[in-house]
Amino acid sequence: MTWIYVLFCVLFCGSTTGFLLDTITGHLPHQVCYGDLGCFSNGIPFLSTHRPLSVVPASPDTIGTRFLLYTRATPTITSEEQLDPKNDLSISRSHFDGQLATKIIVHGFTHDGHKMWVQNMTRELLVLDAFNVIVVDWHAGAVLPYEQATANTRVVGAQLAQLINTLIARAGTSAGKFHIIGHSLGAHIAGYAGERITHLGRISGLDPASPYFEDTDIKVRLDPSDADFVDVMHTDAGGVKNIGFGATHPLGHVDFYPNGGERQPGCAADAVDKLGATSWAALSTFFNVYAAEEALACSHERSYYYFTESINSQCPFTAWKCATLGEFDQGHCVKCTDDSCARMGYHADPSKGLRGNFYLNTESTDSFCQYTYQVNISSLNNFDGILYMTLEGTNATIGPTALMKNNLVHLGKDTLALRYHSRVNVGSPTHLTLRYEKITTPFISSSYPDDWHLLGVTLWQADESRKYSFCNTYHAEIDNHNSTTFSVRGVTC
Ligand SMILES: *[C@@H]1O[C@H](CO)[C@@H](O)[C@H](O)[C@H]1NC(C)=O
Ligand SMILES: *[C@@H]1O[C@H](CO)[C@@H](O)[C@H](O)[C@H]1NC(C)=O
Ligand SMILES: *[C@@H]1O[C@H](CO)[C@@H](O)[C@H](O)[C@H]1NC(C)=O
Ligand SMILES: *[C@@H]1O[C@H](CO)[C@@H](O)[C@H](O)[C@H]1NC(C)=O
C-alpha cells in the first residue's frame, strides 16, 4: 500500500519539474549531523523497498521539540512546565520528582502535545497515581510530507533519549522507571529513544505507524529490544483492501489485536468508505488523509481511546493468546492458564513474562471495554432456531440477548460454543434463562421438532476464568417461544 501513496505523490505532488528534481536529489544517500544527537543517514537500512522515499531528518531547530511536564501539583496545560535536557535549571526548578515513575506520551503525524487525547491520557494517569507525566510535543516536525515526518522521528527519539539520560544522571531516577506511550509515529519515536537507553522500563506502542515502517529493519522501527517490556496495540492494520495506518505484524513482546486489529467497531468499513469520506483533491497532498482523523483514521485513533480508558477502568480489557484470529473467533482460546491471558492497555503486566499475539473484542462506543462470557450448549435433537440468554448474577442481570445472529441448523451431536459480551459485569452468576425461538423457514424447519431438548449448559466467565454449570439441564425441554430458568449448580443440586 505504501506504493499506492508513492504513486500518488509522483502523479500529484510532482507536477512541477523543480519539485521532482528536489525530490530526487533529496533522496540520494547522504547524512546530516546534529551535534551531540549524532549523525543521521538516509541510506540502508533506512532506504529499502519498504521505504522507497528516504530523506534525512530536519534539524532540531526546525522540529522544535518541547518536553512538557505535568504532575499532580501542575496537572493542566495552564500549569505545565518545560524541561530542557541542556538546561539543568529547567529540571531542578521543575516539579519533576525522581522518586516517582515517569510516563511519557508521544503523539504522531499531524498531532501536537495539546491534543485533547493527550490531555485526557495525562489526566487519567494523574488520577491513577502521582507520576511525572512528560508530553513530547514535536508538532512542527509532524507535518507534511509524510516521508519527512517519518525521518524527523529519529531526531525526536534522540532528543527524548537525551532528556531521559539527563534525568537519570541529574534527578536521581533510573531507566526502569520510564514508560513511553507513543501513538502512530510516536511509537517509533519511543523505539528510537529506547535504542539509546540501557534497560528502558517499558514502551506501549499504540497502533504504530505502518507506512515506511512495516517489515523494515529493527533499527528503523519499534521492536522488543527497545525496552524491557514492549506492548503494542494494533487497531488499524492495513490489508490489501483496507488502507490501514497501523502495523499488521507483531512489533513487541506482546501484541494486542482488539476486534482482529484491522477495523474497530463503530468505524468505517474499508478503504472505499474511508476514501468516500474525503475528496480526491485531499489525496493529492500525499497522506493528508491522515489529518482528517476522526472520519478517516477512526480505527487508528481508537488505540489511544482504549489505552486511556484502561488506565482507571474497573473493566480489565482481558485479552487471550491465540495462534490465529480465526481460532479465537471459534471460541478456542478464551482460557486463562499461566500467561495465556493478559490485560490490554495500561495494565498489561510486564512481570508475567507475556509473549505473543492476544485477541479481544470491544464495544463500538465509549466505554469500550467488555466482559466476555462463553456458553457451551449441547442438545439432544437437531434444531433450527435462535437461542436467547439472560444471565443473572450477584451484581447485575444481562440480556435477554440472542446467542446467534442467524438461525442455522444445529445438529444435536455438536456442542455449540457461543461467545457473549457485555459492558456489565454480572458478578457471580446465579441464574441462566434460555429462550428458544424456532425459525419457521418453509420446508426446512418442518423437518425439526417444535421444542428443543437440552442436554447440558456450561458458562465460562472468561475474564475470571471460572466455569459454572446449572441444575436440571439434563433432558430439559424448552418449548418453542418459551423460556426456562436454571440455577447455578451449588450445594443444593
Ligand atoms: C476527552 O475527555 C472528555 C471528557 O471525558 C471526553 O468527552 C472527550 O471525548 C475525550 N476526548 C478525547 C479525544 O479523548
Ligand atoms: C466450550 O467449547 C469449546 C469449543 O469446543 C471448548 O474449547 C471449551 O473448552 C468449552 N468450554 C467449556 C467451559 O466447557
Ligand atoms: C460488583 O459491583 C461492585 C460495585 O460496582 C464492585 O465493586 C464489585 O467488584 C463487583 N463484584 C463483582 C464480583 O464483580
Ligand atoms: C412455558 O414453560 C413453563 C415451564 O416449563 C410452563 O409452565 C408454561 O406453561 C409454558 N408456557 C407456554 C406458553 O408454553
Average pLDDT of the residues in 460-467: 92
Residues 489, 426: Cα–Cα separation, whole Å: 17
CA-closest residue to ligand 1 atom 2: 120
Residues 70, 50: Cα–Cα separation, whole Å: 38
Average pLDDT of the residues in 8-27: 45
Domains and CATH numbers, the chain: 2-360 (3.40.50.1820), 371-487 (2.60.60.20)
The predicted-structure confidence for 348-406, as pLDDT tens digits, reads as follows 998 888 899 999 999 999 999 999 999 999 988 888 888 999 999 999 999 899 988 77
Among 300, 310, 313, 463, the active-site one is 300
Q: Beta strand pairing status for 102-106 and 408-410?
A: unpaired
Which range has the worst mean pLDDT, 16-20, 154-158, 427-431? 16-20
Q: Is the CB of 116 under 6 A from ligand 1?
A: yes
The predicted-structure confidence for 160-184, as pLDDT tens digits, reads as follows 999 999 999 999 999 999 999 999 9
Contacts of 342 (CB under 8 A, 6+ apart): 254, 256, 318, 319, 321, 348, 349, 352, 354, 358
- For the question of residue 199 being annotated catalytic, the response is no
The predicted-structure confidence for 153-164, as pLDDT tens digits, reads as follows 999 999 999 999
Percentage of the chain beyond pLDDT 70 is 86
Which range has the worst mean pLDDT, 87-101, 286-300, 455-469? 286-300
Residues 53, 10: Cα–Cα separation, whole Å: 11
φ and ψ at residue 384, rounded to 5 degrees: -135, 95
Q: Look at residues 161, 182, 354, 368 and name the one whose alpha carbon lies nearest to residue 264.
A: 368
> Which ligand is the nearest neighbour of the Cα of 107?
1
Q: Give the orientation angle of helix 116-128 with respect to helix 298-312, to 10 degrees.
A: 20
- Is 226 part of any known ligand binding site? yes
> Which ligand is the nearest neighbour of the Cα of 483?
4
What per-residue confidence (pLDDT) applies to 286? 43
The predicted-structure confidence for 267-319, as pLDDT tens digits, reads as follows 875 544 454 444 333 443 444 444 444 456 889 999 999 999 999 999 999 99
Rg of the chain (C-alpha set):
26
116 alpha carbon – ligand 2 mean position (Å): 43
Q: What is the number of the ligand 3 atom nearest to the C-alpha of 393? A: 13
24: confidence class by pLDDT, cuts 50, 70, 90: low
Q: How far apart are the first and last CA of the chain?
A: 60
Q: Is the CB of 485 under 6 A from ligand 4?
A: no
- Which helix (H) or strand (E) segment is 39 a member of? strand 39-41
Question: Hey, is 55 helix, strand or coil?
Answer: coil
Q: Is the CB of 472 under 6 A from ligand 4?
A: no
Q: Give the orientation angle of helix 185-195 with respect to helix 146-170, to 10 degrees.
A: 40
**CB of 482 closer than 8 Å to CB of 436:** yes
Enumerate the β-bridge partners of residue 467. 460
Joined together, the cell numbers standing for residue 256 give 494486542
User: Ligand 2 pocket: which of 322, 403, 411, 460 to mutate (most atoms <8 Å of CB)?
Assistant: 460
What's the count of helices (H) and strands (E) in the chain, helices before strands?
12, 23
Average pLDDT of the residues in 235-242: 67
Residues 173, 426: Cα–Cα separation, whole Å: 43
**CB of 211 closer than 8 Å to CB of 2:** yes
CA-closest residue to ligand 4 atom 6: 482
**pTM recorded for the entire structure:** 0.88
Which range has the worst mean pLDDT, 138-152, 171-185, 293-307, 410-424? 293-307
Q: How many CB atoms lie within 10 A of CB 19?
A: 12
- For the question of residue 184 being annotated catalytic, the response is yes
Give the torsion sign (CA, 272, 274, 279, 285).
negative
Above 50 in pLDDT, residue 85?
Answer: yes
> Which ligand is the nearest neighbour of the Cα of 371?
3
